[in-house]
Amino acid sequence: MNSRRQFLKISSLSAAGLIFGGGLLDAFANNLVKTNPSHFKGPFDFTRTPTYCEVCFWKCAGWVYKDENGRIKKIIGNNDDPNCNGRFCPRGTGGVGMYNDEDRLKTPLIRTEERGKQTFREATWDEAFEYIAQKLKKVKSEHGAEAITLFSHGSGGKYFGNLLKAMGSNNITAPSYAQCRGPREVAFISTFGQGINSPENTDIRDTKCLVLIGAHIGENMHNGQVQEMSDAIDKGATIITVDPRFSTAASKSKFWLPIKPATDMALLLTWMNVIINEKLYDKEYVERHCYGFDQLKEHVQQYTPEWAYGVTTLKPQQIRETARAMANAAPAVIVHPGRHVTWYGDDTQRLRAVAILNALLGSWGRRGGYYNPDKAHVPHYKLPDFPKPNKSWRDALGGKYNLADLALASGLCDASMPSHELGHKIKAWIVNGTNLINTLPNQAKTIEAIQALDLIAVVDTMPMEITGYADVVLPECTYLERYDSLRVSQGREPSVALRMPAVEPQYNTKPAYWMARELAKKLDLLDYFPFETLEEEIDWELQQIGSSLEEMQKIGVKRMPREEDDLYFTEGENVEFGTNTGKIELYSTALAEEGFEPMPVYTQHPEPQEGFYRLIYGRAPMHTFSRTANNPNLTDLMDENTLWVNPKVAKEWGLKNDQYVYLENQDGIISDFSIKVRVTERIRFDSVYMVHGFGHTDKRMKRCFGKGVSDTQLISNVMTDPIMGGTGMRGNFVTFRFDNKKEA
Amino acid sequence: MRYAMAIDTKKCVGCSDCVVACQTENDVPIGYCRDWVVEVMDGTYPQLELEIRSERCNHCENSPCVRCCPTGASHYNEGGIVLVEKNKCIGCSACITSCPYDARFVHPEGYVDKCTFCLHRVKKGMQPSCVAVCPTKCMYFGDLDDPRSDVSMVLKKRKWKTLIPEAGTKPHLYFLI
């Protein structure tokens, strides 16, 4: 049996297994659809218009209200939306600031000098498209279409992705995989044959015990999870938080384990040891569903609580007590998979340990543990076949990271480097809605890759740093001024949500769909964009599921019944899991055959040198990465990040609250700007903490320019996950500086 | 009728959604706010406690701001809600000085502004916008004289406190602890 192929087949199934459609309606293929869009109502025909939020990836559905002058006044949640239950988070509520931001990109720009200098001239849309089309044609003829890559985080990615596939490239990538949740997906696929995806299928609402490892729900404002954690608190659930920082979640927890950073794996393995040796695991569940229990039992004998004390600094009694608390609550227990998990390079293995722990506790497929998500089946219009690329994004990886189930943004950036010698060179980037300068670790490398490109075109609403490196900048209108494809997200019950414009686009901005289609015209690829406008395509799709654009404009969200009553496993049910063995793999056959450890092992990670502190970064509830950094409503709540410093450390360095310091990392990189010190007991003495997404260097963003420090700038040491290529970013250490002058 | 609000400090995560929702609902200019979040930390690593509170006007039964207002702009309205009639307000700021909770500010248009418990919404049978938006559902609003109101029920069930009780203002903002 070729286990890798099997594994990949399964993984692609799990990533896309719930999406049906396509191929259904061949009769329409290759015809441009001709309908008259004028029968659709426009934004001014409504007092409130439906949308789903674009400030983060949770995509909550809501209503946009306008004042008597037709200006957007407020955005509130849609009561029928399972992602938000009628309650938006601060970023969604403040989404109106994205529309009102006077620093927005306002018209297409074409570079006049070298990249990074931010010297542009204003251009017409036609000039901008002509420029891009000519360059793309040149790259395609010289290097093949496979030399073109799309980096995307946001709704527009779908349309540009379509364009890329039509040209003959499958290099479509998002930093949300290799820089964020990728290891978790690979770990859960290899254990349960199914990934976590988004929104997470954690049944927090009904859990009796929630275990958070570095996950700071409440500071990361993943709306549905925050709401459900609050419900769980109401119902008296036990929360266990493992974090070197006293996070908001830690303050809500019965047990806070102030772990030494980079030792989480030791704790997870020790918890397994206790749960197995004290016979606290779900014997019936493990016997029925799991593969490799005996190997695991033997494997974890070495990881005793007394051993873990020396590694994690957590007391053996604390480790035993929390293991028992989890077992008491089982199967209504969630050892949470987290979201941003690219920390130390052994992240897939750490998340494997999380998955295994859940399996031992019998929480996968159980109420209060992990439910089985469902998704609406919305057919897509049949497009002509895409040309088959001669090289795929995998070829850029040189045979490594075979278990990655999505393209690696970092891998495609590496393949753009002048030094890249794998024969699959990337020469053109289209970047949609992701500020790669602040998203990919090792900025110097990202910039070197960009400088070697033949073309970089950036689509954004704001003059983010990445636009400063663009040859052409395409200003997108905000989500409040455009249609986008239907939101079809997974959940306890399937739902579909509509985004339509509440107002006409301000300035000379346009929706991404229109841009991609105009480019398709220039590239003779219009067959792949059969609908003239997105609302026609949306209406067509909605008609297939018995709804219509007209109906959705009135209700915003349509909930649909589950096709099967399979939210949880039933008592005594035999389940076929999508792994090689058809079982939950405590011992991973797929990892073993790829030459990796079949069961997670503890490895020691580098520690800070004298005078240096581990740089830990995280989220604030009112910001989404750098996307919101200049939003007038949200900068009003938080306009700079601060550096959390333990009082002992502050004393040693003579640091006072509110004092500004520069930071220097282990590679001698000094922060562009200084950061305000926050002396607090809430952080360990061996670490400092800051919120990600600040320290912006583009002066066109007036509210956030020079405010705070960019953690990304200081992340030059990347610990790469050998299994799937994730970029571990928590192995960077900083020290304080009182000026930013380079030493001679 | 006595309107009051209870805020569960055990659930509040301090996200400040209440602040943004109030700003957009009530056209509070950016740079000003009628409600805000306070975090109080106590202890030494790793024995720590954190209390997070969403604060606003306490709509006191015995309001120093109403008492000291020279023009009668500050007054008790329906259900004991303390309001400022902006046409009567001369912006003298006596109320701002007298408020122990620092709940008032001078609006850039010259009058004193503060939380209204969203009376315009309450009159329509809706919740104040901060209560309606809160992702943690940590806020409870209603009539203290109605034993079945959300706020009465939760105050019966849970331990609570008010802020600066020694000021004798009889605040109508309760914090569940």
Q: What is the CATH number of the domain that holds B79?
A: 3.30.70.20
pLDDT in tens, A292-344: 999 999 999 999 999 999 999 999 999 999 999 999 999 999 999 999 999 99
Strand order in the sheet with A209-213: A255-257, A238-242, A209-213, A333-335
Residues of A in contact with B135 (CB under 8 A): 84, 87-89, 221, 223, 226-227, 230
Specify the DSSP element, H or E, that contains B113: strand B112-113
**Would you call B48 an interface residue with chain A, using a CB distance cutoff of 8 Å?**
yes
Residue A345 in tokens: 């390079």
Q: Rounded distance, CA B128 to CA B138, Å? A: 13
Q: Is pLDDT of A515 > 50?
A: yes
For residue A723, how many other CB atoms are within 10 A of its CB? 28
> Which of A65, A251, A255, A678 to mutate: most B Cβ within 10 Å?
A251
Inter-chain contacts counted by CB atoms under 8 A, chains A and B = 117
Number of domains in chain B: 1
CA nearest A53: which of A7, A15, A99? A99
B157 interface with A at CB cutoff 8 Å:
no
Rounded Cα distance between A257 and A243, Å, is 6
Q: Which helix (H) or strand (E) segment is A249 a member of?
A: helix A248-251
Interface test with A, best of B13, B27, B39, B54 (most A CBs within 10 A): B13
Q: Provide the 3-class DSSP secondary structure of residue B163.
A: coil
- Same domain for A338 and A227: yes
| Whole-number pLDDT of residue A43 | 79
Say if strands B160-161 and B173-176 run parallel, antiparallel, or are unpaired: antiparallel
The HSE-up count of residue B101 (CA atoms within 13 Å, CB side) is: 32
C-beta atoms of A93 and B15 within 8 A: no
> Two tokens at A310?
């020396």
Which pLDDT belongs to residue A38?
58
Pair A305, A437 in one domain: no
pLDDT digits (tens, 9 = 90+) for A262-298: 999 999 999 999 999 999 999 999 999 999 999 999 9
Instruction: Evaluate whether residue A29 is within a structural domain.
Output: yes
Percent helix, strand and coil across chain B, each to the nearest 5: 25, 25, 50
Which pLDDT score, from 0 to 100, does residue A7 have? 37
Question: Residue A43 corresponds to which tokens in the numbers above?
Answer: 């934004």
> Does residue A240 have a pLDDT over 80?
yes
Domain containing residue A472: CATH number: 3.40.50.740
pLDDT at A29 over 60: no
Say how many C-beta atoms besides its own lie within 10 A of residue A255's C-beta: 16
CB-based contact B135 A258, cutoff 8 Å? no
pLDDT tens per residue, range A189-232: 999 999 999 999 999 999 999 999 999 999 999 999 999 999 99
> Is A75 contained in some domain?
no
Query: What confidence tens digit (pLDDT) does each residue in A139-193 have?
Result: 999 999 999 999 999 899 999 999 999 999 999 999 999 999 999 999 999 999 9
Same domain, yes or no: A150 and A234: no
Specify whether A366 is located in the same domain as A400: no
B46 interface with A at CB cutoff 8 Å: yes
Q: Is A257 in contact with A246 (CB distance < 8 Å)?
A: no
Sort A740 into a burial class: Cβ within 10 Å, 0-12 / 13-18 / 19+: middle
C-alpha B6/C-alpha B137 separation (Å) is 11
> Which are the contacts of A741, defined by CB distance < 8 A and separation ≥ 6?
none
Whether A555 maps to a domain, the answer reads no
Task: Kindly determine whether residue A681 and residue B44, on different chains, have CB atoms separated by under 8 Å.
Answer: yes
Q: Is B15 on the interface with A (CB under 8 A)?
A: yes
CA A239/CA A224 separation, integer angstroms:
17
Q: Hey, is B109 helix, strand or coil?
A: coil
Chain B residues closer than 8 Å to A226 by CB: 13, 15, 135-136
- Pairing relation of β-strands A495-499 and A557-559? antiparallel
Please check whether residue A222 is in contact with residue A198, taking contact to mean a CB–CB distance below 8 angstroms: no
**Nearest CA-CA partner of A210 in A255, A266, A259, A244:** A255
Which residue among A321, A343, A373 closes a domain? A373
Q: Distances in Å between the alpha carbon of B36 and those of A249, A356, B57, B140? A: 20, 42, 10, 17
| Structural domain of B49 | 3-176
Same domain? For A366 and A433 the reply is no
Q: What is the CATH number of the domain that holds A707?
A: 2.40.40.20
* Local confidence band at A35 (pLDDT 50, 70, 90 cut-offs): low
Nearest-neighbour CA in chain A from B24: distance (Å)? 5
pLDDT at B145: 97
CATH number of the domain where residue A220 is located: 3.40.228.10
pLDDT of residue A398: 86
User: How near does any CA of chain B get to the CA of A89, in Å?
Assistant: 6
Q: Does one domain contain both A409 and A333?
A: no
Nearest to B17 among A93, A219, A683 (CB): A93
> H or E element: which one contains A4?
helix A3-16
B11, B20, B137 member nearest A94 (Cβ): B20
Show residues of chain A in contact with B10, CB under 8 Å. 233, 252
Residue A72 domain-assigned (yes or no) = no
Q: If we measure between CA atoms, which residue out of A454, A466, A460 comes closest to residue A432?
A: A460
A502 touches chain B (CB under 8 A): no
Cβ pair A251:B50 closer than 8 A: yes
A641: tokens are 């990040």
Segment A106-114 shows an average pLDDT of 92
Whole-angstrom distance, CA of residue A248 vs CA of residue A246: 7
Q: Note whether A173 and A193 are same-domain residues.
A: no
Q: Do A690 and A715 belong together in one domain?
A: yes
Strand-pair partners of B38 = B53
CB A256 within 8 A of CB B46: yes
In chain A, the residue whose alpha carbon lies closest to the alpha carbon of B132 is A87
pLDDT of A33 higher than 70:
no
Ranges of residues in chain B with a pLDDT under 50 are none
Contact status, residue A703 vs residue A635, Cβ threshold 8 Å: yes
Q: pLDDT at residue A583 above 90? A: yes
Domain limits for position A456: 3-37+104-177+391-490+506-534
Interface test with B, best of A60, A637, A648 (most B CBs within 10 A): A637
Cβ contact A171:A393 at 8 Å: yes
Residue A450 covered by a domain: yes
What is the count of structural domains for chain A? 3
Nearest to A665 by CA among A451, A411, A443: A443
Instruction: Compute CA distances A684 → A141, A256, A596, whole Å.
Output: 55, 13, 33
The candidate with the shortest Cα–Cα distance to A383, out of A643, A158, A219, A113, is: A158
Q: Nearest CA to A440 among A399, A412, A401, A476?
A: A412
Please give the distance of CA A10 from its chain centroid, rounded to a whole number.
21
A213 with A159, same domain: the answer is no
Intra-chain end-to-end CA distance of chain A, in Å:
61
- What does the block give as tokens for A18? 């719930």
**Cis peptide leading into residue B29 (ω within 30°):** no
**pLDDT at position A5 over 50:** no
Whether the CB-CB separation of A379 and A20 falls below 8 Å is answered with: yes
Please, which pLDDT band fits residue A32 given cuts at 50, 70 and 90? Answer: low
Rounded to whole angstroms, how far apart are CA atoms B157 and A333? 27
Work out the average pLDDT over A563-584: 93
- Within A154-203, strands assigned E span 172-173
Tokens of A627: 């996307």
- Phi, psi torsion values for A484, nearest 5 degrees: -140, 170
More confident residue, A489 or A523: A523
Q: Are residues A311 and A169 in the same domain?
A: no
Using pLDDT thresholds of 50, 70 and 90, give the confidence band for residue A36.
Answer: low
Q: How far apart are CA A417 and CA A262, in angstroms?
A: 30
Same domain for A335 and A399: no
| Other Cβ atoms closer than 10 A to A580 | 21
pLDDT over 50 (residue A2): no
pLDDT, tens digit (0-9, with 9 covering 90-100), for A409-458:
999 999 999 887 777 789 999 999 999 999 999 999 999 999 999 999 99
Closest Cα in chain A to B177: A252
Is pLDDT of A30 > 50?
Answer: no
Lowest pLDDT segment from A11-25, A400-414, A595-609:
A11-25
Read off φ and ψ for residue A201, nearest 5 degrees: -90, 35
pLDDT confidence of residue A487: 97
**Closest chain A residue to the Cα of B45, Cα to Cα:** A681
Task: State the pLDDT at residue A15.
Answer: 37
Taking alpha carbons only, the member of A198, A218, A202 closest to residue A210 is A202
The chain-wide mean pLDDT, for chain A, equals 93
Cβ of A88 and B133 within 8 Å? yes
